[in-house]
Amino acid sequence: MSVLDRLEGHLRAQGLGDGDRLPPERSLAPALGVSRRALREALARLELQGRVWRGVGQGTWLGTRPGAPSAAASRAVAASHPLAIMEARLALEPALAALAALKATAEEIAAIARCAARGAETHDEVSWGHWDAGFHRAVAQASGNALLREAFAVIEACRARTEWGRLREVVATAALRRDAAQQHAAVADAIARRDTDAARQAMWIHLRTINRAIESAGAGSGQETPPATKPATPARGRNPRAATASPQTRRVP
C-alpha cells in the first residue's frame, strides 16, 4: 500500500473531512508507519490536487484554501493576543452555539458530537488540540450564518499564531482537558436537544474555563487596557442574536 493510500485510509478512519485540520507531521507519520519525508511527499501530491492546503503557522487542512483575509482581518491577526482572542470568543461563540441549536442539520449535529467524543478519548495535548479546534469549527459551521462564520475564521487565524500554540502547551493540562471534554459534551447535548439557552450557557462556561486557565498562567495582554469588571453569567431567555453582546472578561494586568 502506498503512503498516499495509507494517508487517505487513515483520514477516512478518523472521520476527517473538508475543513478539518490534519494532525501535525510528528504524530501523523508514526501513526501511518512512514517517515516524515514520505508523508510530506504524499501531502504535496494532495496539495497539487487541491485536496489539502497548508499555511505558515496554521498547519495542514483538508479541502481548498479559503480566500485571503481582508487587510483589516490581517491587521487583527497581527495585533491580537491570547486574552483579546478569548474576549472575542466569549462574545461570538456562545451565539454560534445558540444558532447551531436552532439551525443545525442532523449531519452537523453528528459532526459536533463526533468531535466532542474524539476529544474526550485523547490522552495528549496535540490530539486534544486537534479535536478541540474541530469541535468549535463544527459548531460555527452549524450556525448557518456565513457572516458569523467569517468572524470565527478570523479568530481561528489568530489562534493559529505561534504564541497561542506555546500558551496552549502550558494551559492544556490533563485536568483542563477532562473539564473541557465534559463541557464539550454539554454543548453538543444542548445543540442536539435544540435548547438555545442551554447551548449558549454551556459554551460560555467552557470558554470561561479556558480564559481562567490563561489568566492563571500569567499570560500578558500585550497592551495596556483599563480594568474590566468581572463578567456576569449570561441571562437565559435572550434572543440568540443578542448573545454577541457577552460581557467583557477580566484581564490580567
Kindly state whether residues 16 and 140 are assigned to the same domain.
no
State yes or no: pLDDT of 8 exceeds 80.
yes
Kindly state whether residues 56 and 87 are assigned to the same domain.
no
Q: What is the 3-state secondary structure (H, E, C) of 7-69?
A: HHHHHHHCCCCCCCECCCHHHHHHHHCCCHHHHHHHHHHHHHCCCEEEECCCEEEECCCCCCC
Phi, psi angles (nearest 5°) of residue 233: -65, 135
Within a domain: residue 120?
Answer: yes
Judge contact between 55 and 153, C-beta under 8 A: no
Residue 198's pLDDT band (boundaries 50, 70, 90)?
A: very high
Within a domain: residue 173?
Answer: yes
Kindly state whether residues 58 and 75 are assigned to the same domain.
no
Full-model pTM: 0.61
Kindly state whether residues 11 and 118 are assigned to the same domain.
no
Kindly state whether residues 102 and 78 are assigned to the same domain.
yes
Residue 20's contacts (CB-CB under 8 Å, 6 or more residues apart) are: 61, 62, 134, 137
pLDDT of residue 253: 32
The last residue of a domain, from among 17, 36, 62: 62
Q: What is the mean pLDDT of residues 117-135?
A: 84
pLDDT of residue 224: 36
Average pLDDT, the chain: 78
Neighbour tally for 223: CB within 10 Å: 10
Distance CA(80)–CA(220), nearest Å, equals: 12
CATH classification at residue 100: 1.20.120.530
Within a domain: residue 253?
Answer: no
Kindly state whether residues 79 and 204 are assigned to the same domain.
yes
Distance CA(58)–CA(177), nearest Å, equals: 22
The last residue of a domain, from among 38, 62, 86: 62
State yes or no: pLDDT of 68 exceeds 60.
no
CA distances from 161 to 61, 166, 184 (A): 15, 9, 23
CATH classification at residue 17: 1.10.10.10
Distance CA(222)–CA(133), nearest Å, equals: 24
Within a domain: residue 251?
Answer: no
| pLDDT one-digit tens code per residue, 202-241 | 999 999 999 998 888 765 444 433 333 344 445 444 444 4
Within a domain: residue 78?
Answer: yes
Q: Structural domain of residue 43, as residue ranges?
A: 3-62
% of the chain exceeding 90 in pLDDT? 32
Kindly state whether residues 117 and 241 are assigned to the same domain.
yes
Closest CA to 42 of 18, 76, 6: 6
DSSP 149-193: HHHHHHHHHHHTSHHHHHHHHHH--HHHHHHHHHHHHHHHHHHHT
Number of domains composing the chain: 2
- Sign of the alpha-carbon dihedral angle for 238, 239, 245, 246: positive
DSSP-derived secondary structure letter, 143 = T
Kindly state whether residues 18 and 110 are assigned to the same domain.
no
Q: What is the mean pLDDT of residues 78-105?
A: 89
Distance CA(118)–CA(134), nearest Å, equals: 10
Within a domain: residue 104?
Answer: yes
Within a domain: residue 169?
Answer: yes
Closest CA to 23 of 50, 67, 49, 62: 62
Within a domain: residue 250?
Answer: no
Kindly state whether residues 51 and 75 are assigned to the same domain.
no
Kindly state whether residues 124 and 230 are assigned to the same domain.
yes
Please state the separation of Cα 166 from the chain's center in Å: 16
Residue 78's pLDDT band (boundaries 50, 70, 90)?
A: low
- 3-state DSSP call for residue 106? helix
Kindly state whether residues 27 and 125 are assigned to the same domain.
no
| pLDDT one-digit tens code per residue, 37-52 | 899 888 888 877 777 8
Kindly state whether residues 123 and 192 are assigned to the same domain.
yes
Judge contact between 5 and 42, C-beta under 8 A: no
